[in-house]
Structures are given as structure tokens and as C-alpha cells.
Structure 1
Amino acid sequence: MISLRTHPSPHPFVRKGLVAERPPGLASPALVGAVDPVGEHLGEGFWNERSDIAWRRLTRADEVFDEAALVAAIDRAARLREALPGVAEGDACRVVHAEGDGLSGLIVDRYKDVLVLQFHSAGWLLLEQPLLAALHARLGTRHHRVILDERTARLEGVRPREVLSQGVPERLRISEHGVRYQVDFSSGHKTGFFLDQRENRLLLTSLVQDATVLDACCYSGGFGLAALVAGGAAEVTGVDLDEGALALAKSNAKLNQVRAKYVHADAFDWMRQMGGQGRQFDVVVLDPPKLVAGKRDEFDGRRRYADLNRLAMDVVAPGGLLLTCSCSGALQRGEFLELVRTAARKAGRDATILADPGAAADHPVSLECPESEYLKTLWLRLT
């Protein structure tokens, strides 16, 4: 049992500075309970003295987090997805969204028969086997990939880890809204595909009939191919600096028997060049990689977001649409909105917000943990 200096907020993260005492010789990581200064039980969670997040709450009060509690939490998460329209019957979805599902530091995505697990807390290493057994039993899946990446390893003070089930495929094909995508697990970003943008891709298909579309930072072509295959776009251009991602995008275009133009370039430089030439598009999708990972790169990341949005606005035709996104959890929604407002002023454009849906519904957000709302999206009409 650890003791805290004050009674904490309901936020699932407890930082090192709030910890008053811990048992001598307590290992890291460990599953332990916590009490406030008057001895009130606060629940159980993962302890890790090597991490700035010293304790991650998993239960409340006197509740224990044993295998039965783990199985129950997975069942609750699965039942939520089964109730969401268009999710359960699809090929891929997010099964567990960390704090949004009460399982802090755990991400689980399902791609047909394959589960991809991301550990953002070293504590999950303690429960890896019962966790996998519970997931496969509940979901009827066979294969898994377990990942604790280098960045998380540094933050948690452990070694990176990757565990693959025997026979797990390197690639597989999924279908979403009538569009086929090849998911590359070995070299892909996140868990292999941007499942969080599912509903934004669907909305895009209703807005691009006969339109010219720019998919900036296109990765494997998700938005652009949705526009071509399901939306009836006249022309799609995808831009990315990652040659491997572009190769996957081209492969996906071939898989869907459509033609798109793919450009190997830095999105900043390419849009600056197009803007200088007066080139514009009816619809622009701007979904860059994370630019604000933490406080260390906060200033530079905010500036880059503002610059990137201004450049994107320069290549949107009058009356056209811009979908702009940020996947930086450290950047709050209001802050992102202000950066986009600044970009519109610098670009000399009037912008109207049509929608701000954020991530797909299988990515629930805890009201007590705003960091779990990492994806911010704005649909804008520009004049």
C-alpha cells in the first residue's frame, strides 16, 4: 500500500510528487493499493517509481483488480463496441481505449483475427498472460502482437518489448465502408492503421463527389482512397515524406482498382510550393503526425501546427473544405482551436466550423482524463 500526500482528484494518474510513502522494497512495476492522508482507500493500480506517473488507478475505494476484475473490464469494453453501429460488424476496431475504458495505459485494436496490444504502462507486463487469455476468450481471436515501444520504455524505465503469437501475419486486408486497405503490422504507424479516423473518412465520402482532394500526410492513403472509391472524387493527390507509407498507399490504390497521384515530399514544403503557384483543391485533409509530444517540444510543436494549417488554407479553393487534425494528447481542444484560428487570420481566410467529431466512437474519452481525448478534428469551410 502506498500513501499519498493529499486526497487526489479522480484523475487516473498520480504523479511522483503526490506520493508520501511506499513500502520498503516495493518492486517496480507492481499492482498495489493507495490511501490518502487519513487512510481512506483510493483503489488499486500500477505502481512504477521509475515513471513520472507513479501510480495509475484501475479501481476505486476497496475494489481489487484481480483476474475477475480484468475479465469484467474487457467484457464491458467489448459490449460497448458491440452496441456501436457499424463497429462490431466491421473488420477492425479499437477494443480497449486505455483510460476511456478504465484500463489505464492499455490499447487493444482488433484486425479480424489479430489483436494488437500497446502497453503504455509497464504494469501491464505483470498481467500479460491473463490479459491475452481473457481477450482471446471474449473476442474469439487467435493471434496477437504485444508492443511496448522504445518511447514508452524510456518513460517507464523498462526495456522495449514485442511479443508475437505463432503464425501471426505480417499483413492482412481489411474493408471499411466499401474500401479495402492492406494493413502492414511490421512497419505501420500506431497499431497498423488509423482506426480513430473511421467516422471522419465516412463523412468525407459524403462531401467529395466530383471534387479535387488533397490528402496531406496521407500515410497509407486512408482518406484519399475513401474519397475516390466511396465518395466519387474526381481527383486525389496524396503527399507524404515516408516512402514506405507511400508504397503502401500505392498498393492500396491498386487493390481498389483506382488511380491516385502520390508525391514523396515534405507536406510543409509541397503546400508552400503549390500555394506559391496558385494551385488549389476543393477539399484538403490535413492529418499530420504528433507535433506536440510533451512539454519539451510544446513551443515548437504549436508553431508548426499553426504554420501547417496556414499553408493548408492557402491551397483550399474558395468555398472549399479543410479537415484539420491533431493527434497530440498534450494539446487540448481549446488550444488547437486557437492555433487554427490564428492560421486562418494569417492566411486571410474566413473559416466556419461545420463539425468537430474527434475520434471514432470506439475511442471513448474519460471526463476525468482529458489526455484520452488525444485526437482533435475540425471540419472547416473556407471563403
Structure 2
Amino acid sequence: MTQEISQADLPTIRLMPKANARAIRHGSPWVFDNELVTDRRTKALAAGTIARLEDAERKFLGTVAVNPNSRIFARMLERDESVVINRAWLVAKLKMALDHRTRLFDKPFYRLVHAEADGLPGVVIDRFGDVAVIQPNAAWAEAMIEDIAAALAVATDVKAIVKNGTGRSRSLEGLPEETVVLKGEITGPIPVLMNGATYMADILGGQKTGLFYDQRPNHAFVQGLVKDQKVLDVFSHVGGFALAALAGGAKSAISVDSSQPALDLAELGAKAMKAGTTFATRKGDAFDTMAALETERRKFGVVVCDPPAFAPSKPALEKGLRAYERVARMSSVLVEEGGYLVLCSCSHAADLDAFRTACIRGIGRAGRTAQLIYTGFAGADHPLMPQLAESGYLKALVFRML
């Protein structure tokens, strides 16, 4: 267990006089390196160190986790000066998060912790029944991973816990990539029932934690459009919208993805649903496959494109928006008249207005007209922190093609 340190023993970091202390007091969870007095002592703090944050007048603002190797130098952990950051604190945070999820879902398959929005900055925890996967995407969480796992075992009844230390966020924190089983054992893909569909989550070898829970409400909306329709799901991962569509009464569904292991899991899910005869896969580049389908003169009642983040950061925004426009243009021509086009973005750098504009431009360039009938976001197990736009990353737009 990590040694407990009292407030009096914590190192202190201080805002520069021109820094916006008011934003911190009003809930902003991050302090950037150019907002702090970064002397030799401050720069020498080990990544993951817990510290006191003070304003320029030496007034306490909060207990923070610091990483001198990151642009986000400090992440807010606790605003109550009397509270100590320890295992008991972690248990309390996890129980608060768990209470919300158990109100939402009757079975334990959900995102249990959504980082800053659940008061655990940089920490993502997805639950798959008796298994939980922790993504410690900040240096403090990496340093306290044993405490987080132990607290998770106390707060829930999970029997296996996996640390998934992969992804872009960890590289920005200067953390290595590794996936480790911290508790129990994983014997294979885990079946997850969601919106009547069965998904197979590869906890150890899949993308991120093995399955994306964030699209659950958007899957449910699209299910209302697919009865007796042919459905095309591009960037499908392990079945995504395609399996949800089959559960909603679609005539057939095709999953397109560049990953054969992901498509294999999608096929396992379809067979578990007894929908194998109406489900097909096409492995390949999404853009090449859409071009081929146009050449084949294929049309679908519903087409879904749920690509990876084309604009993961502000420097990538312009290029990312062009990619979203291209997706909209190429997918538009595959939709039957009166059919539906579903376009999604998980890029937090591309806000809703920018993403919607790119989609509309792409549809127009394809020579199609459309009605926007639905705008969706992540489910309620992915809460939005109002002071942090990045926590509201997912957008889903549904157009009816005229």
C-alpha cells in the first residue's frame, strides 16, 4: 500500500500571479505547465507526486497530482484541505461512481469510472461482469495502481482486474505501454449483452479495454430504424452497430473493419445471437471498401460510419475534419433514397458544430440532400464534466437521405 502523507508533509506548487486561479476555484481540473512557478525544486518532483496547489497569495486551492513531464502539470484530486489521498479515499470515489451505474443498469456491464468526471483524473475503468479493466492514463494513477486495484476489489465484487496501460494518453504522460493481470485470471473473450445484441470483449488483446460502451444509447436509437433493412457498418470493430441492428430486426448486416481479430469477435457475437446467417464481414481499409461497394452499385437502408478519432488533438483538427467530410461523402452514395446515414466522431478536438459542418459538406459534395433527425452523445455511464470539454468527446448524427 502507498505510504500515506499528511497535508503538512506534501510539497507545494504555486500558480503564477497572472494565472487564472478563479477557473481552478470554479472547477477547472487541470493546471498547465505555463501557469505555474516552475523552479528547480518543482521541476524535480517525481511524476505522480501528490502536492498542495496554492494561488499566488499562497492560499490553498486543492490537492493535486503532478507530472513535470506533461503539459498538464497538475490534475485536481481533492479540494477539501482536510482530506488525505489514500486507499480509503479511492474506495469512497469508486463507491460513489458505482452507485450511479447501479441505478442505470441492472447488470454489471458499463463504464464504472470516466476519469475527471468521476473525480479520478486520467483513470478509466470499464466493468465486464466479474472482470474490471483499469486504464491508468495519468502518472499518479500509474504510481497508485496497486491501491486503485485494491480499492476496486473492496468497492465491487469483481474477481479479476486487468491494467491496460496502452494508448496515446499514456504516451503524453511519458508512461510505458503494458497490459497486466493484477488480480484473478482471464480465460478468453467475455460475452457482453447490450441492447439485445451479444458482443465479445477481448480484455487482453482488443482495443482500449476490449469494448466500447459509449455508443449504447446511439445503438438503441438506430435499432428503431433498421427493421427489415440491409445495414452496412463501417469501422465496425467487434460488431458495433451491425450486431445492434440485427438485434433490432435488420434483414442483414455487414461489418467492415481493417482488423481481422475484431471481425472474428464480431462473428462470434453474431453466432451467439443465432444471427450468423444474416451477418457478414469485409476486411479492408474503410475508404477502399466504400469505393468498392459504390463500384458494385450496392445500396443499403442504413449505413453507419463510426471511425477512430481523426482529430485527437487541435493540431490534427483541420486534417481530421477533411477526413470526416470524406467519410460523409463516400458513405452518402451507399444509402438508399429514404434510408439513413449515421456518422460518428470520438474526436474531442472536433466539437459538435465543426463535426456537423464537415458531415453536411460531405453529404452535399456527394450530391445528396438530407434531414438531420438525431444528435446523440455517450451514455450516462460516461458523464460529462462541465468544466472540461474533452470529457464530452462522442458525437453521433443520424441523417435521413432524400
Alignment TM class, shorter chain as reference: over 0.9
Residue type at the aligned position of 1:173: P
Q: How many angstroms apart in 2 are the aligned matches of 1:355 and 1:92?
A: 26
Q: Is 1:101 matched with 2:118?
A: yes
Assess if the C-alpha contact under 8 Å between 1:98 and 1:107 holds in 2. yes
Q: How many angstroms apart in 2 are the aligned matches of 1:106 and 1:279?
A: 43
Structure 1 pair 65/377, CA: closer, same or farther in 2 (3 Å)?
farther
Q: 1:333 aligns with which of 347, 352, 368?
A: 352
Q: 2:204 aligns with which of 153, 161, 186?
A: 186
Q: Which moved more, 1:143-152 or 1:303-312?
A: 143-152
Residue type at the aligned position of 1:263: R
CA displacement, residues 189-221 of structure 1 (integer Å, 9 cap, x when unaligned):
121011111111222222211011111111111
Q: CA deviation at 1:282?
A: 0.7
Q: Which residue of 1 aligns with 2:48?
A: 29
Q: CA deviation at 1:70?
A: 2.2
Q: Is 1:301 matched with 2:312?
A: no
Q: Which residue of 1 aligns with 2:245?
A: 227
Residue type at the aligned position of 1:195: Y
Q: Where do 5+ consecutive residues of structure 2 fail to align?
A: 1-11
CA displacement, residues 144-173 of structure 1 (integer Å, 9 cap, x when unaligned):
111222533431123223320242333222
Q: Is 1:7 matched with 2:16?
A: no
Q: How many angstroms apart in 2 are the aligned matches of 1:44 and 1:7?
A: 17
Q: Which residue of 2 aligns with 1:112?
A: 129
Assess if the C-alpha contact under 8 Å between 1:150 and 1:159 holds in 2. no
Q: How many angstroms apart in 1 are the aligned matches of 2:172 and 2:188?
A: 28
Q: Which moved more, 1:337-346 or 1:305-314?
A: 337-346
Assess if the C-alpha contact under 8 Å between 1:14 and 1:55 holds in 2. yes
Residue type at the aligned position of 2:314: K
Q: TM-score, normalised by structure 2?
A: 0.89
1:352-367 alignment, distance < 5 Å: 352-367=371-386
1:1-383 alignment, distance < 5 Å: 1-5=12-16, 6-8=19-21, 9=23, 10-21=27-38, 23=41, 25-60=44-79, 62=81, 64-67=83-86, 68-84=88-104, 87=105, 89-149=106-166, 151-164=168-181, 165-228=183-246, 230-258=247-275, 259=277, 260-383=279-402
Q: How many angstroms apart in 2 are the aligned matches of 1:382 and 1:11?
A: 41
> How many percent of aligned residue pairs carry the same amino acid?
34
CA displacement, residues 48-92 of structure 1 (integer Å, 9 cap, x when unaligned):
0001111111222535352233222211111111222xx2x2241
Assess if the C-alpha contact under 8 Å between 2:102 and 2:108 holds in 1. no
Structure 1 pair 373/63, CA: closer, same or farther in 2 (3 Å)?
farther
Assess if the C-alpha contact under 8 Å between 1:328 and 1:374 holds in 2. yes
Q: Which residue of 1 aligns with 2:8?
A: none
Q: Which moved more, 1:155-164 or 1:137-146?
A: 155-164
Q: How many angstroms apart in 2 are the aligned matches of 1:362 and 1:310?
A: 32
Q: How many angstroms apart in 2 are the aligned matches of 1:144 and 1:71?
A: 15
Q: Where do 5+ consecutive residues of structure 1 fail to align?
A: none
Assess if the C-alpha contact under 8 Å between 1:7 and 1:37 holds in 2. no
Q: CA deviation at 1:301?
A: 1.8
Q: Which moved more, 1:185-194 or 1:296-305?
A: 296-305
CA displacement, residues 85-130 of structure 1 (integer Å, 9 cap, x when unaligned):
xx2x224100000111121100000001000001110110222222
- Give the paired residue count: 379
Q: How many angstroms apart in 1 are the aligned matches of 2:372 and 2:115?
A: 29
RMSD: 1.8
Assess if the C-alpha contact under 8 Å between 1:44 and 1:63 holds in 2. no
Structure 1 pair 158/176, CA: closer, same or farther in 2 (3 Å)?
closer
